[in-house]
Amino acid sequence: LSATTKYHATVSLRVIVEIRATRERSKVHLATPEVLDIDVRLARLEMSNDLLNAARKPIRDFINDELRRNDGKIRDKANQAVGKAVDDKTFRVPLLEYLLRL
């Protein structure tokens, strides 16, 4: 008897992030991004074990309930990750500089 079960899972992830940009002369400053909305859910679950595969809907529902219950933690981690990806930056935009001279 083998207890090994292989599975394939598809996770759906939707994130809406706001990055405010402000302009001062020819410089553009990107503020720290903020996650406005996030939706993570187990979209599909397939298991090689017939018994577990028959119970996949309750298992999927349980996982999705846990994801919803941990929404605050997930949002905090997403904000940290996005913050690292888009650190506070200020940069020059030569085209903007040129247009402001006209």
> In tens digits, what is the pLDDT along the chain, a chain of 102 residues?
456 678 889 999 999 999 888 877 777 777 888 999 999 999 998 888 877 878 889 999 999 999 999 999 999 999 998 888 777 565 566 776 666 666
Quick one: pLDDT at residue 93? 64
DSSP state of 86: T
What is the distance between the alpha carbons of residues 39 and 19, in angstroms, rounded to a whole number? 19
Are 39 and 12 in contact by the 8 Å Cβ rule? The answer is: yes
8 A C-beta contact, residue 91 and residue 27? yes
Nearest one of 90, 67, 80 to 35, comparing CA atoms: 80
Q: Name the region of 85 (left: φ>0; alpha: ψ -120 to 50; beta: rest).
A: alpha
User: So what's the pLDDT on residue 89?
Assistant: 65
